[in-house]
Amino acid sequence: MADDDKELLKRVARVLRQAADDFNAIAGEVERRVGANGIDARAAMERSCQGKRAYATAERAGAAAESRNVPGLRVYECPFCRQFHLTSRTLDAFAARP
Ligand SMILES: [Zn+2]
């Protein structure tokens, strides 16, 4: 394997490790808001899914996040479509809130 490929895979792995933590934070925030507002969780997930590019594998999503070169983009598995999305910057800020 070429060194460039190894370097890309290492960066993808870092993105994926971070993604698990971030997704848990986002899920927790969504649950909290669902409880507060009485909105349907599935509908909220569906809205979050729609209009987002879906990737068949976490690796592809990770590579896409890298290529966009936008700090803070994370990969997460979508509970609605079971594919992988990148967080928007809005969602990232959402997760960072205490
Ligand atoms: Zn989705």
* Ligand 1 centre distance from Cα of residue 24 (Å): 16
* Ligand 1 centre distance from Cα of residue 27 (Å): 14
**pLDDT in the model for residue 36:** 62
* Ligand 1 centre distance from Cα of residue 2 (Å): 33
Q: Is residue 90 part of a domain?
A: yes
Domain of residue 75 covers 53-98
Nearest C-alpha neighbor of 23 from the set 98, 80, 83, 92: 92
Q: How many domains are contained in the chain?
A: 1
Kindly report, residue by residue over 41-56, the tens digit of the pLDDT. 677 778 889 888 999 9
Is the pLDDT reported for residue 67 higher than 50? Answer: yes
- Answer yes or no: pTM beyond 0.85: no
Q: Is residue 67 part of a domain?
A: yes
* Ligand 1 centre distance from Cα of residue 75 (Å): 11
Is the pLDDT reported for residue 92 higher than 50? Answer: no
Three-class DSSP category at 56: coil
**pLDDT in the model for residue 61:** 94
